Amino acid sequence: DAMVIQNPRYQVTQFGKPVTLSCSQTLNHNVMYWYQQKSSQAPKLLFHYYDKDFNNEADTPDNFQSRRPNTSFCFLDIRSPGLGDAAMYLCATSPRGAMNTEAFFGQGTRLTVV
Amino acid sequence: RKEVEQDPGPFNVPEGATVAFNCTYSNSASQSFFWYRQDCRKEPKLLMSVYSSGNEDGRFTAQLNRASQYISLLIRDSKLSDSATYLCVVNLNSGNTPLVFGKGTRLSVIA
């Protein structure tokens, strides 16, 4: 059974039209991450939550926001998607500070901006 | 210096070959190390964790060299199905720090 679930798998949105991507987890992990991955590039961390503490990467555009209403769910809001925001968005979770514990990824949401 | 650096490749090797990738990390306080495999248009999946003593899983061997701050992945008897991008991932494991990914090394195993 999938432990980190992202919805939808594929999302098409119009230029400038707000879009929300969702992620849920059944692992009860403290940490949830959002990564952006463009073609042939490494996943780029946008932000992460450590429980309810939100941590934004310095170079994450203001256009990207996130919400974590509870342990299980995390949302990525793109307020005004541009063509350059087309990418795969990956959600991942990990337990807090556990040694040698990997991150668990969802299958990703592939965002297309038209 | 980037936090996690990898040779992007591509490494093009014939079936049956042995291939090795290295990854260097800049933060000496890093605690956990992983190799992930990512297939085209799919999410990264854990290949193996890397332990101080080195570890082996079938045809895959991972090593950690803390003194020189690098980890390595060795693949023996390469299969066509090993073709993928291999991502090096490092974790400080202290409180509020995220995983840090390298840019990945692309491997193509050729028949």
Q: What count of residues does chain A have?
A: 114
**What one-character-per-residue DSSP string does chain A give?**
--SEEEE-SEEEE-TT--EEEEEEESS--SEEEEEEE-TTS--EEEEEEETTEEEE-TTS-TTEEEE-SSSSEEEEEESS--GGG-EEEEEEEE-TT-TT---EE---EEEEE-
Residue A68 has φ and ψ, to the nearest 5°, of: -135, 90
Residue of A nearest to B50 (CA): A100
Instruction: Say how far apart CA A94 and CA B96 lie, in whole Å.
Output: 11
Predicted local confidence at residue A100, as pLDDT: 56
How distant is the Cα of B97 from the closest Cα of chain A, in angstroms? 9
Q: Cβ separation of A90 and B46 shorter than 8 Å?
A: no
- DSSP letter (8 states) at residue B53: T
- Closest among B42, B23, B34, B21 to B99, alpha carbons compared: B34
Q: Which residue has the higher pLDDT, B97 or A114?
A: A114
Q: Which residue has the higher pLDDT, B72 or A95?
A: B72
Instruction: Give B66's contacts (C-beta < 8 A, 6+ positions apart).
Output: B28, B52
pLDDT digits (tens, 9 = 90+) for A30-76: 889 999 999 888 889 899 998 999 989 889 999 999 999 999 999 99
Residue A19 has pLDDT above 80, yes or no: yes
Q: Cβ separation of A42 and B89 shorter than 8 Å?
A: no
Tokens, residue B109: 């195993």
Q: Cβ separation of A42 and B101 shorter than 8 Å?
A: yes
Predicted local confidence at residue A107, as pLDDT: 94
Q: Cβ separation of B98 and A48 shorter than 8 Å?
A: yes
How distant is the Cα of A72 from the closest Cα of chain B, in angstroms? 18
User: Stretch B52-71: mean pLDDT, rounded?
Assistant: 92
In chain B, residues with a C-beta closer than 8 Å to the C-beta of A42 are 87, 101-104
Are residues B13 and B110 in contact, defined by beta-carbon separation less than 8 angstroms?
A: yes
- Closest among B90, B102, B71, B47 to B63, alpha carbons compared: B71
Are residues A37 and A46 in contact, defined by beta-carbon separation less than 8 angstroms?
A: no
